[in-house]
Amino acid sequence: MEAFILSEWLQQHFVPSEDSPAYHRLYRLICRAILEGHLAAGARLPSTRDLAAELGIARNTVLQVYDQLAEEGYVNAGVGRGTYVEDIRQDLFDPPAEDGEDAPIDEHAAPVHDLSRRGRRLVSSLGFSNRQAGAFMPGIPDVREFPLKTWSRIQNRQWRAGPWDLMRYAPAGGYGPLRQAISDYLGSVRSVRSTAQQVVMTTGIHQGIDIAARLLCDPGDTVWVEEPAYWGVRNLLTSSGLRLVPIRVDDEGIWPGEAERARPPRLIVVAPSHQYPLGTVMSLARRHMLLDYARQVSCWILEDDYDSEFRYDMRPLSSLQGMDEAGRVLYAGSFSKTLCPGLRVGFLVVPQALASAFADSVAELYREGNMMTHAVLADFIREGHLSSHIRRVRRRYAERRACLIEEIRRHFGDALDVIGVEAGLHLILALPDGVDDTLVVRDALQQGVVTRALSTYYTERENARPGLLLGYAGATPEEIRPAFDTLARVIGAYL
C-alpha cells in the first residue's frame, strides 16, 4: 500500500469519535494495516505534515503515533529519510509445535467453539455499540444536561454525615429510603400502585428482566416479545434458555392472533407506553385485552417503562401496572434516560406476593451495593429535583426533535415517512421497500454519523420494514443540522 493509498484508506476509516482520542484511533488503524498485511514491509508512511492535514488533526498527534510505532518495532524512522514499515510478519506465524511441546497460547483468541449453545447464540447476535454519544445514537439522553451542581451538593452532604452504613452491601431489596421515594414518585406520575416493599432495586432494566426470567420461568418456557423488539430483551431471554415467540405490533400495540393465544406463554414482555423501536403507544382497549388474557391463563406481564417521562404531543396513559387488578404485572424502570445511563440504577415493582422472593434473590445473586448513589438519589427525588430536571430536559428534547423533523422535511419533503414522534428520545425515518437499511447505517458510520437499522430489530427479517432509528436527545440543534446534512447525502445515494 503506497503512501498516498494509505492516506485514502486512513481517511475512509478514521471515524470521528467523542469516546476515543485521535491518537488512539490513528495508532490502532496503522497497526491494523501492518498486521493485516495492507502495509507491506518497506512501505513508506506519509509524512507527518501531510497526514495531519489530510485527517484534520494536529501534527503533534501524528508525530506521537509514529514515535510509538517506532518504539514498538512496527516502523523504522529516521530524521530526513522518512518512516518505513518493519518486516514483522514472520514473528506472527510460528511453526506448529512439535509433539510434546506446549503450543503457544493466544490470550486474545475467542474460543467461540467452547461456549455453550446459548452462549454462542448470544455472541452471534450482539447489538450493543461502543459509540454512546452524538447524532443520531438512539436511546441516549444528553449527559451534558445532568444537574451536576445539585447532585454534588447532596452527595457532599451525605459524605459529611459519616456514611459508614452506606459503604456496606445493600439490604435485601435495596436502600429503604430510595425504595420509598420511588414508590411515592411512581404513584404520582405513573399511577403505579405499590408499597416500598414491592420496589426492588436493580442496576437497570436489563437486570430486572434477567431476575424476572430466572424466578418466573424455567428453561424451555414460552415468552412473548413484541415484533419488532429491543435486541437487549431478546438476547437476555434467549440466553436464559427461553423460547421466544415474536408477536406483531400494529398501531394499537401488541396483537396476538388466535393460534398464539391458544398456546399461553409463561411471560409477556411489553413496552406499552412507548414501544421500542416503533414508538407505538398501546391503546386502552389493547391494555385491557392483555390484562384480561394474563388473568385468564395465569401468565405474567413484564412492563418495560423505559422512557415514559418524555411525551410531547399527548398526555400519557397510566401504567399497565396501575390498571392491574389481578397482580400479574411486574413494572420495570430505571434512571438511565431521565438522568444518565452511568448511574446504573433501576428498579422492579413486583406484586406483593413476589416481593420477598425477588428482594432476597437479587441480594443473593448480585450482592448489590452502591448505596451512596442510592442515598443521593433518594434525596434528589424527595426534594423535587428529579421532577424539575425532567421538565427542563423535556423542553430541550422537544426542541431537538422539532429541529430533526425540520431537517428531514427540508431534505426529503414528504417523500419519507417519519414514525414515532410523539414521545421518547428517538424517531424512525422510514425508507422505501428494497433499500438495505444496514448498508445505509454502515455508510453513515464511515462518515461519522451513527444510527441504527430498523430491520435489525425484527426476529423475522423477511417481514422487516427498512428504516433508520434517529436519536435526537443527545445532540443540540447545532450538532443535528450538519450531521443530518451528511446522513441525507448517504440516504440519497440509495433512493
Identity of the residue numbered 421: V
Q: What are 180's three cell numbers?
A: 420509598
DSSP class of residue 44 equals: B
Number of helical (H) and strand (E) elements in the chain, helices listed first? 17, 14
CA distance 180 to 199: 8
Sheet holding 418-419, edge to edge: 418-419, 426-430, 467-471, 452-453
| CA-angle at 457, arms to 455 and 458, nearest 5° | 75
DSSP class of residue 353 equals: G
Q: What's the pLDDT score for residue 55? A: 83
**DSSP 3-state assignment of 446?**
helix
CA distance 168 to 369: 7
Paired strand residues for 247: 226
Nearest Cα to 440, choosing from 385, 493, 369, 371? Answer: 493
Distances (CA, A) of 410 to 397, 405, 495: 20, 9, 16
**pLDDT tens series, the chain, 495 aa:** 455 567 677 777 777 665 677 888 888 888 888 877 777 788 888 888 888 888 888 888 888 888 888 877 778 876 567 888 887 654 444 444 444 444 444 444 455 567 777 777 677 666 666 666 678 888 889 999 999 999 999 999 998 887 788 888 888 999 999 999 999 999 999 999 999 999 999 999 999 999 999 999 999 999 999 999 988 888 889 888 899 999 999 999 999 999 999 999 999 999 999 999 999 989 999 999 999 999 999 999 999 998 888 888 766 678 999 999 999 999 999 999 999 999 999 999 999 999 999 999 999 998 888 889 999 999 999 999 999 999 999 999 999 999 999 999 999 999 999 998 888 899 999 999 999 999 999 999 988 899 999 999 998 878 899 999 999 999 999 999 999 999 999 999 998
Nearest Cα to 64, choosing from 102, 103, 23? Answer: 23
List Cβ<8 Å contacts ≥24 apart for 57-63. Answer: 57/22, 57/26, 58/22, 61/22, 61/23, 61/26, 62/26
131 — phi, psi (to 5°)?
A: -85, 115
CB 110 within 8 A of CB 69: no
**Burial group, residue 322, by CB count within 10 angstroms (0-12, 13-18, 19+):** middle
